């Protein structure tokens, strides 16, 4: 009987210890993601000369609301010459609720394009401060440049991007997404534009598949690039984007 009581006590101690470890571990969340897309569209503009891209990153979040992460994508050397044909994003911020189902997200995001330079020798790097708000299926976000360098433009501090997003579950594991955003460049108004996106994402279990139509009202002349073979493309006009992604 004494041995049984001792065994129960030992098992209870192990169970209590395991529960405590799980409780402590629950404060920290690590996730990763990987995607294949038929065209990498950033704010409506193709970053891959209308070609496919591979993307991926990881995120850490704390139960207090603080988070940091990194996300990367292949990009086109036509649009980002002399670099490594990669975009690396580093970000961190804080999320919190101000009311039931009403969330606020504040943070910093650094866009880094290793080695890439414009024809004038300027970097494509950018640093944005952002604030977002969400309520159920609706969200809005405002991003503002806090550095003079901004995606190849100089003296561009104060350039900004504002967006509105809505995501509805239209059937089990299937989400309809709607997006509209407006990009404004300080002292480079010819490049300003509004972008639109309508898409559907379905969770297959092992991965998610997406289909979206993306377009902008950008000036074609401002967003047409020519590769070394003499082929020109307007990277701002409408297209259908297919995606396959996995979060783990």
- The CA distance from 12 to 18, in Å, is 10
Phi, psi of 5 (to 5 degrees): -60, -40
pTM check: above 0.75: yes
Question: How many residues does the structure list for the chain?
Answer: 248
Phi, psi of 19 (to 5 degrees): -65, -40
The CB density around residue 30, as the number of other CB atoms within 10 Å, is 9
Answer whether residue 242 is part of any domain.
Answer: yes
SS3 of residue 214 by DSSP = strand
The CB density around residue 12, as the number of other CB atoms within 10 Å, is 10
Alpha helices, H only, the chain: 2-25
Strands 224-226 and 232-234: antiparallel
Number of domains in the chain: 1
- Provide DSSP, 78-94: TTSTTS-SEEEEEEEEE
Q: How far is CA 67 from CA 29, 75, 118, 163, in A?
A: 9, 26, 32, 21
Whether 184 contacts 160, CB under 8 Å: yes
Answer whether residue 113 is part of any domain.
Answer: yes
Answer whether residue 219 is part of any domain.
Answer: yes
SS3 of residue 10 by DSSP = helix
Query: pLDDT band at 3, cuts 50/70/90?
Result: very low
8-12, 64-68, 161-165 — which is least confidently predicted?
8-12
Q: Is 184 exposed, middle or buried (0-12, 13-18, 19+ CB in 10 A)?
A: middle
Answer whether residue 121 is part of any domain.
Answer: yes
SS3 of residue 173 by DSSP = coil
Answer whether residue 179 is part of any domain.
Answer: yes
CATH code of residue 75: 2.40.160.40
SS3 of residue 191 by DSSP = helix
Query: pLDDT band at 13, cuts 50/70/90?
Result: very low
- The CA distance from 211 to 177, in Å, is 10
Answer whether residue 75 is part of any domain.
Answer: yes
DSSP secondary structure code for residue 123 in this structure: B
Q: What is the pLDDT of residues 106-158, one digit of tens each?
A: 999 999 999 999 999 999 999 999 999 999 999 999 999 999 999 999 999 99
Answer whether residue 187 is part of any domain.
Answer: yes
Is pLDDT at 23 greater than 70 in this prediction? no
Answer whether residue 51 is part of any domain.
Answer: yes
Domain span including residue 150: 24-247
Whether 168 contacts 175, CB under 8 Å: yes
pLDDT at 25: 57
Q: What share of the chain is helix, strand, coil (3-state, %, to 5)?
A: 10, 55, 30
């Amino acid at each position: 009987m004494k041995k049984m009581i001792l065994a129960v006590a030992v098992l209870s101690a192990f169970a209590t210890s395991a529960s405590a470890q799980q409780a402590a571990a629950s404060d920290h969340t690590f996730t990763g993601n990987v995607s294949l897309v038929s065209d990498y569209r950033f704010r409506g503009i193709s970053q891959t000369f209308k070609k496919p891209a591979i993307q991926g990153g990881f995120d850490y979040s704390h139960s207090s609301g603080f988070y940091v992460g990194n996300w990367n994508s292949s990009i086109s050397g036509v649009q980002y010459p002399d670099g490594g044909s990669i975009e690396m994003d580093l970000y961190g911020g804080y999320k919190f609720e101000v009311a039931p189902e009403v969330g606020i997200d504040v943070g910093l995001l650094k866009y880094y394009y290793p080695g890439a330079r414009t024809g004038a020798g300027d970097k494509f790097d950018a640093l944005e401060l952002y604030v977002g708000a969400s309520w159920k299926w609706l969200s809005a976000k405002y991003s503002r440049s806090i550095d003079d360098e901004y995606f190849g433009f100089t003296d561009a501090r104060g350039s900004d991007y504002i967006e509105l997003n809505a995501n509805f579950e239209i059937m089990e594991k299937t989400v309809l997404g709607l997006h509209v955003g407006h990009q404004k460049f300080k002292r480079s108004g010819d490049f300003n534009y509004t972008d639109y996106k309508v898409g559907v994402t379905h969770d297959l279990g092992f991965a998610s598949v997406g289909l979206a139509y993306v377009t902008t009202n950008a000036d074609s002349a401002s967003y047409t690039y020519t590769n070394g073979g003499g082929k020109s493309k307007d990277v701002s006009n409408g297209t259908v984007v297919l995606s396959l992604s996995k979060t783990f």
